[in-house]
Amino acid sequence: IWESTSTNPYLSVNLKITEPGEVKVTYKDNTGESGEKSKKIKPKA
């Protein structure tokens, strides 16, 4: 359990992309604030 987090925390994940689509990340912090970000993705040629 962390007592603090940087202003701009970094998150890294590996995905196996087999077809075009969209990835969406939704978050909620310890003060109840939440947000989400979406990005269109496609497999490498």
- Amino acid residing at 39: K
Q: How far apart are CA 42 and CA 39, in angstroms?
A: 10
Domain assignment present for 13: no
Using an 8 Å Cβ cutoff, are 5 and 31 in contact? no
What local confidence, expressed as pLDDT, does residue 5 receive?
67
Domain that holds residue 30: 18-44
Residue 12 lies in a domain: no
**Does 5 map to a domain?**
no
Q: Which residue has the higher pLDDT, 35 or 3?
A: 35
Q: Kindly tell me if the per-residue pLDDT of 1 is higher than 70.
A: no
Domain count, the chain: 1
pLDDT at position 18: 92
Residue 31: C-alpha distances to residues 13, 15, 16, 27, 43 (Å): 25, 29, 33, 12, 37
Q: Does any domain span residue 34?
A: yes
Model pLDDT for residues 4-43, shown as the tens digit of each residue: 667 777 778 888 999 999 999 898 887 888 999 999 999 9
> Distance (Å, rounded) from C-alpha 45 to C-alpha 41?
12
Is residue 37, in this structure, part of any structural domain at all?
Answer: yes
- The pLDDT value recorded for residue 2 is 62
